[in-house]
Structure 1
Amino acid sequence: MSHARPVRLAALAASLIAGPIALTAVPAAAVTGPAVPDSDTTRAYAAQVIVGDHDRGCSGVLVDTEWLLTAASCFAENPAESLAVPAGKPALKTTATIGRSNLTGTGGAVRDIVELVPRADRDVVLARLSRPVTGVAPIALAATAPTAGEELTLAGYGRSKTEWAPLNLHTGTFSVDAADATTATVTGQDGVAACMGDTGGPLVRTVNGTPQLVALGSRSYQGGCFGIDETETRTGGVVARVDDLAAWVGSKTGANRATDFNCDGVADIAVADPQATVGGDAKAGLVRIVYGGGKGTAEISQDLGWVGGGSEANDQFGEAIATVDYDQDGCTDLLVGTPRENLGDAVDAGMVDLLHGAPGGLGTGATKDTNFQQATGNGSISASTPETGDLMGAALAAGTSAAGEPFLVIGTPGEGLSGAAKAGEAFYVSRGTNVSVHQDKLGVPGAVQANDGFGASVAADANHIAIGAPAESINGDNTAGNLAVFSHELNSENRPTPLFGLDQDLDTVSGGAEAGDRFGAALALAPYRPSGSATADESILAVGTPGEALTVDGVSKAETGAVLTFRVTASGTYTQLNGLSSGTGSDDVSGTSEAGDHFGTTLTAVNTAPRAVSTEATMKLAVGVPDEALGSVPKAGAVHVFSLLGSPGANDKWVESGDGDGIPGAPGADQRLGSSIHFTGTHLYVGMPYGPSSTGALYALPMSNVTLGEPTAPVTVYQPGQGGLPPAGTAFGYAAR
């Protein structure tokens, strides 16, 4: 490895030579203590951090499989003047090497740092990695402050006594002199000092053989470090305390990933209007973006030169949308389905676009759009042929698997297979290619039949994938419906591994398959961590059956609808948990089942604390009831929120227009509230594409508003003509992510 460093670091080192200025917040660079042997993994949690093209080198520590703690001064523009660091993607490409005591080895992992979450009160920043680190155990934060006389061990990758750029991790012992609210002063023992490159390195105490992270290296006199004036003999310094930051770290590392198209650390929102007129073309469709933090809005349609296809009447761009950081650069990417796109002579063949996020927003980076259409690209999509009525992109799901692999699931419910028209399939896109999944593939339950519509609904989380065929005939009952569940692990055909199928003629599923049930018309999955499990490696699956008839107080209610929930284990087995419906007027579940409600037409689920053991409070399900009549108002619609765990009526919450939960106005005929719903970790987004305004609207309801017994908080309203959005719209709020 070259020992050359840019002049900038040399200048910083010079500023640290002597006097009080030595304690300014400039990155110090390697511990002068002994090198850690190549085979030693006891400090595998330590990380080397390289900012830019070796503009700066620091150290860090793994505190979560996806997060490091390091010094904010590593990223500050001028750390001698200010430690302020913008949240979001680092200004320069930054790489972390974790779990490698010898940097020339192959152990541990190398990851990009793609997001910074700084502290304002000390030299500390949380740094998110591009993907999880496996095989290296994160270190736990200490719970007690450093005390005078206590000895802590610092590990770092900076200079040593004799080397400018050592290839090994070094360690040294420091004695605590004193501590205040956010820092502590320390003195290196036996001539040990922190050097340039050790900034951000972990200072650890060991209790009963278990390491605890107490502080991070921040500032040092660097006595004895290579390149420092020999007259500087002081080995003291200042460290940033982290023993009191466990709650802050947990709130960041344990949160659901927010949509952030411009990677600035502030949540953004994409709102689809697939019925919108674009350039005079009715129902061409568009998606509007609202960038958080007052950074403006954007309109995306196929009339933009960087978006695949071109706006045409009835394309319905935005009929389905999903989000994922597919290229793992810290910027959220937007997946948009255009199921009515004509391709050559194939009417309504459909296509999908993955619009890439960048610091300037969607479409501003080097890669702007990855277009998926049959007979192009690679894999199964390339090998297939666009045909009339395929409807590619009618349903979408996206995310990152537990193994850290980003994926897309693209429903193509109109695909004809083996002479069976509209049998349907889905495409699973990951690892640079894609594969087809349908009922004529290895182990996939069900059989290819005309009009099954396999792929009409899809859902996925980090553990599992669910694909619905709501028009499947079950034992002669047309449109009874079924679904298949898969893991992300690829089988011998390099496709997601099928685990099981579900339909209502199974003894393990309540009810019975009946014509018109449409079991699987809506699906939702949320990761689940049971008590005793180290991770959320299971899932809770919700299945909507909007055509289900229920007998209520002795009277049959046709197409009132129901939802069934299932626990899916890590080994791929399942058990049914609950059957949900609006119930009767006398039970403890809100509402009353009525004919034609279509309870379960839409579903959305979330685990608000995916790293913690799951509880009734953290596992939430929202059910759309878009054809609910409220009083004499037909199809006014409602949203019914449940816990995915526990008794259905214990804490359910009913939401309708004008009831004080945040949807304004009075219920209106044909507004169909509940036709558009989506949970994030902090809000329930409820779209009203059919009213009360002529353009549609979207309401972001804080979680407290949809939780029984909690106070109502202010609601964020997105509506054409407000907040910088253009005044035009047709069905704004049809979908939101």
Structure 2
Amino acid sequence: MRLRPALVAAALTLGSVIPIYGAVPASADGCEGGWNDFNGDGFTDIAIGDPAATVNGKAQAGAVRLIYGHGVAPQTFTQGMGMVGETAETGDGFGTNVQLGDIDWDQCVDLIVGVPSEDVGTAKDAGVVHVVHGSPAGLGKGKAPSVWKQGGSGFAGGAEAGDRFGAAISYGKDRVGYPHLLIGVPGEDLSSKKDAGMAYSRHHYGRASDGRTVLGTFALTQDTAGVDGAAESGDQFGASVAGISVIGAPGEAIGSKSAAGVVHVFRSMGPTLDEYVVSQDLSTVSGAAESGDRFGASLSVTQPDWGPDLSDRLAIGVPGEDLGAAKDAGMVHGLSLGRTSAKEVLAVSQDSTGVDDKTESGDMFGQTVHAANVGQGSDKLIVAVGVTGEDSGAGVVQVFPMSGAPGSADVLLRQGQDGITSGTPEAGDHFGAAFTESSQTLLIGAPDDVTHSEGIVHGVPMALFRGGTGTPSTWLPGQDGIPTGGARFGASLS
């Protein structure tokens, strides 16, 4: 398809999405309140999911490896161990999604793990979400672990076959520090509408000691009053989520165009709702809605430190976009989010002027995205794009500035070159299958790496994306105390 120039709409800064009550609590004794610091040593820790790991002879039961930032041996978490509920079973896929964040507002970082393939009773692939709570003594050494299921723990509805509760999870804080969690349930059936999808918004309003509501959990569908559109079979609302207020429905049909995809941006997520919808059907977004685009299949949010526009920036992956004769070539949009509308600041594909590489069928440019702030100012925002289908699935990662011409400062990353000293591009590696950031390092997963059969994670210094240099890093089973025995190490990252 031929892209038309974006029409720019005025945008206002996206404000806080919940009511504000009181001050942010002081740190718990021994917890520093760091973004991803479990043990209070001032170093950022990371979680690496390996959902295909064998546990006690159970194939693909799944595991999560916790890598500490300094001088502490890695930990492995699986279902059924003392610090995690449930039981490891064949095909569970524990670690399909991992998130880190202080979800209970005690300033201790928690581990949140999505297990969408978990059976609940006789309901196959109903899904559960685990929480391993942080504490001053360390992860899992304080509060008892939590296992969340639909129909319990404040989550309305019930566990049903194919729901895939926990298939997408995102964590964030609003502008005054209140924690929020989004949990996607893309396989939720609404009456006869199969896979219409659902998402939960779970967040704090205030402290129990102040007599205020501690937790609010709201179930959202496209049939919920105040949500645009209508639930339909195959919408998969909740297949992707980002930050504290963005939910994707990549299976949404636009007119007769099946799976064209839309993204919902919420100003408020409960108890009142306020949102707008973004799609390629808008004149303010480049391209045009087409069958199979899957606009919103991947999402990521970041925020400027300062500048003329402090609105959140949203990266949207469209891996099914056809470009000319190239099927599923893919593209990515970047938006500045306002109160009532969004302004496009980036539209990029491998056909864009000055962009490295070239568009080919099956590249799936935008299968994964990660928006990040690499320095002060609104002109220091980037989006890393996973092109997992490139070169017969070897995969590449392309990094673009969120402002200016996309080809003006783009960076192309491959294993074993382009600043990554380890690895070799091989068919099926799926380099770029997952992203996170830690201590000014972009982490990139290659869970199906051929040479390192258990998977590998690469670290690229963020300085590289602002014209600097740095030393790349690598995490893999059997190195630096990380145990072996995995299968898709790096399939998820946080």
TM-score under structure 1 length normalisation: 0.60
Give 1:532 shift: 4.5
Offset at 1:694? Answer: 1.1
The alpha carbon displacement at 1:704 in A equals: 2.4
The equivalent residue for 2:359 is 593
The CA deviation at 1:514 is 1.1
> How far apart are 1:693 and its partner, in Å?
0.4
Q: Which of these residues, 371, 378, 389, is aligned with residue 614 of structure 1? A: 378
What displacement does 1:547 show?
0.6
Q: 2:97 aligns with which of 309, 315, 320?
A: 320
One-letter amino acid of the structure 2 residue matched with residue 485 of structure 1: V
Partner Cα distance (2:312, 2:84) in 1: 35
Q: Distance between the aligned counterparts of 2:48 and 2:22, measured in 1?
A: 40
- Compute the displacement of 1:108 (Å): 8.4
Q: Provide closer, same or farther for how the CA distance between residues 719 and 703 of structure 1 changes in structure 2, counting only shifts above 3 A.
A: same
1:582 partnered with 2:350: yes
Whether the 8 Å contact between 1:410 and 1:426 is mirrored in structure 2 is yes
Contact 2:296 2:316 survives alignment (8 Å): yes
1:680–1:289 CA distance, 2 compared to 1 (3 A): closer
Q: Report the secondary structure of 2:365's partner residue.
A: coil
SS of the equivalent of 1:293 reads coil
Which residue is 1:333 aligned to? 110
Pair 1:722 & 2:479 matched? yes
Partner Cα distance (1:483, 1:681) in 2 = 30
Asked whether the 8 Å contact 2:429–2:448 carries over to 1, the reply is yes
Equivalent-residue separation in structure 1 for 2:460 and 2:294 (angstroms):
29
Q: Is the 1:317–1:337 contact (alpha carbons within 8 Å) kept by the matching residues of 2? A: yes
Distance 2:402 2:282 in 1: 22
- Residue 559 of structure 1 corresponds to 328
Q: Which has the higher contact order (CA 8 A, sep 6+)?
A: 2
Change beyond 3 A, Cα 1:108–1:627 = closer
The match for 1:411 is 184
**Higher Cα radius of gyration:** 1
Tell me the amino acid that sits aligned with residue 360 of structure 1.
Answer: A
Mapped partners of 2:116, 2:393: distance in 1: 26
Describe the shift of the 1:108–1:327 C-alpha distance in structure 2 as closer, same or farther (beyond 3 A): closer
Number of the residue aligned with 2:408: 650
Contact kept? 1:608, 1:681, Cα under 8 Å: no
Q: CA contact under 8 A between 1:499 and 1:573: conserved in structure 2?
A: no
TM-aligned CA distance change 1:715 to 1:360, over 3 Å: farther
Checking the alignment, whether the CA contact within 8 Å between 1:523 and 1:543 is kept in structure 2 is yes
Where does structure 1 lack aligned partners over 5 or more consecutive residues? Answer: 1-106, 117-126, 131-256
Rounded to whole Å, the distance in 1 between the matches of 2:219 and 2:185 is 10
- Decide whether aligned partners of structure 1 residues 348 and 557 sit closer, same or farther in structure 2, where only a CA change above 3 A counts: same
Aligned to 2:247, what secondary structure does the other structure show? strand
Out of 411, 426, 432, the residue aligned to residue 674 of structure 1 is: 432
Deviations 1:343-381 (A, max 9, x none): 11110000101211123321111x132221011122xx1
Query: Does residue 422 of structure 2 align to residue 686 of structure 1?
Result: no
- Per-residue CA deviations over 1:225-258 (Å, capped at 9, x if unaligned) read xxxxxxxxxxxxxxxxxxxxxxxxxxxxxxxx54
Deviations 1:583-623 (A, max 9, x none): 26xx31111111110000000111245xx5422xx211100
Query: What is the CA distance between 1:115 and its match in structure 2?
Result: 8.6
Q: Could you tell me how far apart the structure 2 residues matched to 1:619 and 1:310 are? A: 42
The one-letter code sitting in structure 1 at the alignment partner of 2:81 is: L
Q: How does 1:156-167 map to 2 (within 5 A)?
A: none
Equivalence for 2:8: none
Structure 2 partner of 1:390? 163
- Once residues 395 and 416 of structure 1 are traced to their aligned partners in structure 2, the CA distance between those partners, rounded to angstroms, is 17
Within a 5 Å distance, the mapping from 1:79-90 to structure 2 comes to: none
Q: CA deviation at 1:529?
A: 5.5
> How many matched pairs?
463
Q: Give the unaligned 5+ runs of structure 2.
A: 1-20, 205-214
C-alpha displacement of 1:329: 3.2
Aligned residue for 1:704, secondary structure, equals helix
Moved over 6 A (4+): none
Say whether residues 1:289 and 2:57 are aligned partners.
Answer: no
Instruction: Please show how residues 6-405 of structure 1 align to structure 2 within 5 Å.
Output: 111-114=25-28, 258-365=35-142, 367-378=143-154, 381=155, 383-405=156-178
Equivalent position to 1:628, from 390, 401, 417: 390
SS in 2 for 1:601: strand
Separation in structure 2 between the aligned mates of residue 641 and residue 325 of structure 1, nearest angstrom:
29
**CA contact under 8 A between 1:484 and 1:498: conserved in structure 2?**
no
Q: Is the 8 A contact 2:151 2:159 kept in 1?
A: yes
Could you tell me the TM-score, scaled by structure 2's length? 0.89
Does residue 216 of structure 2 align to residue 454 of structure 1?
no
Q: 1:312 to 1:664 in 2, by over 3 A?
A: same
Give how far 1:639 is off.
Answer: 0.2
Q: 1:109 to 1:261 in 2, by over 3 A?
A: closer
The residue matched to 1:548 in structure 2 has which SS?
Answer: coil
> CA separation of 1:663/1:313 partners in 2, compared to 1, >3 Å: closer, same or farther?
farther
Taking the aligned partners of 1:278 and 1:394, their CA distance within structure 2 comes to 21
Q: Are residue 701 (structure 1) and residue 460 (structure 2) matched?
A: yes
Conserved in 2, the CA contact under 8 Å of 1:273 and 1:735?
Answer: yes
Kept in 2, the 8 Å contact 1:653–1:708? The answer is: no
Question: 1:373 is aligned with what amino acid?
Answer: K
Amino acid at match of 1:436: A
Distance 2:438 2:67 in 1: 16
In the TM superposition, what is the alpha-carbon distance from 1:695 to its structure 2 partner?
A: 0.8
1:511 to 256, 276, 287: 287
Structure 2 residue matching 1:600: 3-state secondary structure: strand
